[in-house]
Amino acid sequence: MTIFQYKTPLNEKVKLYTRLKLLNVFDANEHIRSYQWFRLGVDLSGTQFGLAMDLDEYGPDPSVEYNFGLFVRREIF
């Protein structure tokens, strides 16, 4: 599993928020599952929101399932 997250200020109150989460699972012979989650949005005082895209792949001969939408995320610590 790999997670990349990047925030950079756009102005005094707003930050650009980007996040990429990747998981790839294989056994000795074949592919089991993979997913990639992409997030692009803004951060306002610890709350992030914006666009989301998820890609899911299952099984030894995977086909990709796409899911697009919006996300809201709150940092509590």
What is the model's pTM? 0.82
Domain that holds residue 69: 2-74
Contact between 34 and 45 under an 8 Å Cβ cutoff? The reply is no
Tokens representing 1 are: 């599993």
Per-residue pLDDT for the chain (77 aa), expressed as one digit of tens each? 899 999 999 999 999 999 999 998 888 888 778 889 999 999 998 899 999 999 998 877 777 899 999 999 998 87
Instruction: Tell me whether residue 41 is exposed, middle or buried, using C-beta atoms within 10 angstroms of its C-beta: 0 to 12, 13 to 18, 19 or more.
Output: buried
Cβ contacts of 48 within 8 Å, gap of 6 or more: 17, 39, 41, 42, 71, 72, 73, 74, 75
